[in-house]
Amino acid sequence: MKDETKCLHSGYTPKNGAPRVMPIVQSTTYTFDSTEHIGELFDMPTAHMYSRFSNPTVECVEKKIADLEGGVGAMCTSSGQAASLLSILNLCSAGDSFISTSTIYGGTVNLFAVTLKRFGIECIFVDAEASEEEIQSKFKENTKAVFGETLANPALAVLDIEKLAAIAHKNGVPLIIDNTFATPVLCKPFQFGADIVIHSTTKYMDGHALQVGGVIVDSGNFDWENGKFPEFTEPDESYHGVIYARDFGKQAYIVKARMQLMRDFGCYPAAHSAFLLNLGLETLPIRMERYCENALKVAKYFQQSDKIEEVKYSALPEDEYYQRAKKYLPKGSCGVISIVIKGGKENAVRFMDGLKLASNEVHVADIRTCVLHPASATHRQLTDEQLIAAGVNPGLIRVSVGLENVEDIIADIEQSLEKL
pLDDT band at 42 (very low <50, low <70, confident <90, very high): confident
Residue 389 is predicted with a pLDDT of 64
Residue 187 is predicted with a pLDDT of 98
Rounded Cα gap, residues 322 and 320, in angstroms: 6
- For residues 214, 398, 294 and 273, what is the CA-based torsion angle, rounded to 10 degrees? 20
pLDDT band at 280 (very low <50, low <70, confident <90, very high): very high
Residue 380 is predicted with a pLDDT of 67
Residue 387 is predicted with a pLDDT of 64
Give the pLDDT confidence of 150-187 residue by residue, as tens digits.
Answer: 999 988 999 999 999 999 999 999 999 999 999 999 99
What sign does the CA torsion over 148, 290, 200, 109 have?
Answer: positive
Query: Does the pLDDT of residue 14 top 90, yes or no?
Result: yes
For the ranges 3-12, 26-35, 282-291, the lowest mean pLDDT is seen at 26-35
Residue 33 is predicted with a pLDDT of 93
Show the domains of the chain with their CATH numbers: 3-279 (3.40.640.10), 285-417 (3.90.1150.10)
10 backbone dihedrals φ, ψ, rounded to 5°:
-75, 150
pLDDT band at 210 (very low <50, low <70, confident <90, very high): very high
pLDDT band at 196 (very low <50, low <70, confident <90, very high): very high
Residue 40 is predicted with a pLDDT of 84
**How much is the average pLDDT of 72-98?**
98
> Which percentage of the chain shows pLDDT scores above 70?
97
pLDDT higher at 44 or 27: 27
pLDDT band at 39 (very low <50, low <70, confident <90, very high): confident
371 backbone dihedrals φ, ψ, rounded to 5°:
-130, 160
> Which percentage of the chain shows pLDDT scores above 90?
87
pLDDT band at 374 (very low <50, low <70, confident <90, very high): confident
Give the pLDDT confidence of 303-328 residue by residue, as tens digits.
Answer: 999 999 999 999 999 999 999 999 99
Give the pLDDT confidence of 375-418 residue by residue, as tens digits.
Answer: 775 656 666 667 666 667 777 899 999 999 999 999 999 999 99
Q: Is the pTM of this model over 0.85?
A: yes
Query: Does the pLDDT of residue 369 top 90, yes or no?
Result: yes
**How much is the average pLDDT of 79-92?**
98
Give Cβ neighbours of residue 237 (< 8 Å, ≥ 6 apart). Answer: none
Residue 44 is predicted with a pLDDT of 75
